[in-house]
Amino acid sequence: MPYSPASGLPRRRGMGLLDLPTIVDVALGIARTDGMSALSMRRIADELGRSPMALYRHVADRQSLVLAMLDTVAARIEIPAPVEDPRSEITVLMHAVHTAAQYEPWIVTALAQEGLASPRIVPVIDRILAAFGRSGLQGAAALSANMLLWEFAYGELLTSHQRRPGSWGRAMMRGSDPERFPALHAAIREADRAPGEPQPELFGPHLQTVLDGLLGPTPETGEPR
């Protein structure tokens, strides 16, 4: 079941059962609301009403905890059945990853800055590389294409949170001087939606734009999809 924002708030638990899933659950809540810089064994212990030493009976250190957090998110990926067409295969796999990770922007910090990753993602990467291979990309070219695909996914994960109403970045751009930045404000006016109208889903269209560059136009129409 995908994580939803309402379930991600850290909360003080008191003296209940202490085990690794409970520790990871609290750690995820802290990372979602306050970011990875706020994640510490002491902060988790405070949320649980325990001493930090009690946590070390279940998890060796902070790095082991972050790996367990990544494993928890990766375990939510509902890996789809294989698809022979390379573009379709990559599309369904990346959508599955996006569904599991879309409310977890802290993942980018864990992967990019802390250099950690869950081994549970390896089957997805292997299938993506196989799909690139069927499209004609082999070896270093396939690895480069795979890297670019994940860089897009990480960037989208971060910017999707910045696009939300009330975000600091969104307010900063809208509050800038329209005379100094006319192109920016023209684009904002064109993209503005009526009050209450939901924001469009952009991951899918943006993914197809990336795949247009990596795989070229679709064979059925000769046009980018």
The pLDDT of 86-92, averaged and rounded, is 98
Least confident among 11-20, 40-49, 108-117, 126-135: 11-20
CATH superfamily of 5-59: Homeodomain-like (1.10.10.60)
Tell me the CB-side half-sphere exposure of residue 58, using CA atoms within 13 A.
Answer: 18
Distance CA 184, CA 222 (A): 32
Q: What is the pLDDT of residue 224?
A: 44
Binned at pLDDT 50, 70 and 90, residue 158 comes out as: confident
Q: Which residues contact 68 (CB under 8 A, 6 or more apart)?
A: 20, 23, 24, 27, 59
Helical packing angle, 86-101 and 139-162, nearest 10°: 40
Q: What is the pLDDT of residue 173?
A: 85
Classify domain 86-215 at the CATH topology level: Tetracycline Repressor; domain 2 (1.10.357)
Least confident among 64-73, 114-123, 192-201: 192-201
- Model pLDDT for residues 14-58, shown as the tens digit of each residue: 556 799 999 999 999 999 999 999 999 999 999 999 999 999 999
Q: What is the pLDDT of residue 196?
A: 58
Q: What is the pLDDT of residue 180?
A: 93
- Model pLDDT for residues 188-217, shown as the tens digit of each residue: 888 776 555 656 788 999 999 999 999 986
Domain ranges (residues) in the chain: 5-59, 86-215
Nearest-CA neighbor of 153 among 73, 97, 104?
A: 97
Nearest-CA neighbor of 45 among 21, 14, 69?
A: 14
Binned at pLDDT 50, 70 and 90, residue 161 comes out as: low
Classify burial at 1, counting beta carbons within 10 Å of its beta carbon; exposed 0-12, middle 13-18, buried 19 or more: exposed
Residue holding tokens 């609301």? 33
Q: What is the pLDDT of residue 2?
A: 52
